Structure 1
């Protein structure tokens, strides 16, 4: 009898780049898109445009994590990019199984921060303070395992 397969839950993942070892609460923006080009030749007798793939387009990726005492990792990278525009990082995002092994991996190429956000502060809230970083990049490659 064939083994029944189940989809992988999304809560067990890791994010790494360079020597940075941080735990994240959320990763969003793993999106890839191809722009559509519509074309019709002047001598085409049909009244239908042909559709062909154009340039690839990638949105920004947002990483969210808890605020820790004396942790300025996001700010340091953001500030460094302002004076060192060549500072880019390849980021590896892995979805993990129960044995902590990668099931799916996304490699984000030449990422750099374009926005950082501190926590929303509220005196009557009972929540963890979260900060986020938004990253522009030059492509995503997805691999299994």
Structure 2
């Protein structure tokens, strides 16, 4: 008899990525797409002159975080991206914590990414096509100073 899946463990299948939530400070915003949630440790290469090895040693160096790109539909009278971007004045901008949560079937966070001291580096408005049949989508690129990941 075939297994109908009702008794399967919750760890058998990976989580789908299509249900997520984004919060800027305490405000929740709806996005179509979020990408760039990655970090790397830049290697430091070193070799002293009398080393018997003919190769360099590699040590972990500074951490580097990628910019995060978010896309959302354009709505009438919604200028949140542009308003935040226009606040940039000579190295001064309000930095905000941004929380991105991957949600389970009940809408509870299962994995949470928190961006520290985030601010906008680029805002792209939608493209316009007279024969297009898509919704208008705008993009914001966010720089930040740290990425923390939690599993709930």
Stretch deviating more after TM superposition (78-87 or 9-18): 78-87
Counterpart in the other structure of 1:82: 89
Counterpart in the other structure of 2:60: 53
Shift of residue 60, structure 1, vs aligned partner:
0.8
Measured against aligned partners, the alpha-carbon deviations of 1:78-107 in whole angstroms (never above 9, x if no partner) come to 011236714100100000110111111000
Query: Whole-Å Cα distance in 2 between the matches of residues 41 and 140 of structure 1?
Result: 34
- Does residue 24 (structure 1) correspond to residue 16 (structure 2)? The answer is no
Count of residues in Structure 1 that have an aligned counterpart in Structure 2: 145
Counterpart in the other structure of 1:42: 49
Q: Is the partner of 1:127 in helix, strand or coil?
A: coil
1:112 to 119, 126, 142: 119
Measured against aligned partners, the alpha-carbon deviations of 1:94-130 in whole angstroms (never above 9, x if no partner) come to 0011011111100000000011010011011111100
Could you tell me which runs of 5 or more consecutive residues in structure 2 were left unpaired when the two chains were aligned. 1-6
TM-score by length of 1: 0.93
Counterpart in the other structure of 1:10: 17
Counterpart in the other structure of 2:3: none
Shift of residue 20, structure 1, vs aligned partner:
2.5
Could you tell me which runs of 5 or more consecutive residues in structure 1 were left unpaired when the two chains were aligned. none
CA root-mean-square deviation = 1.7
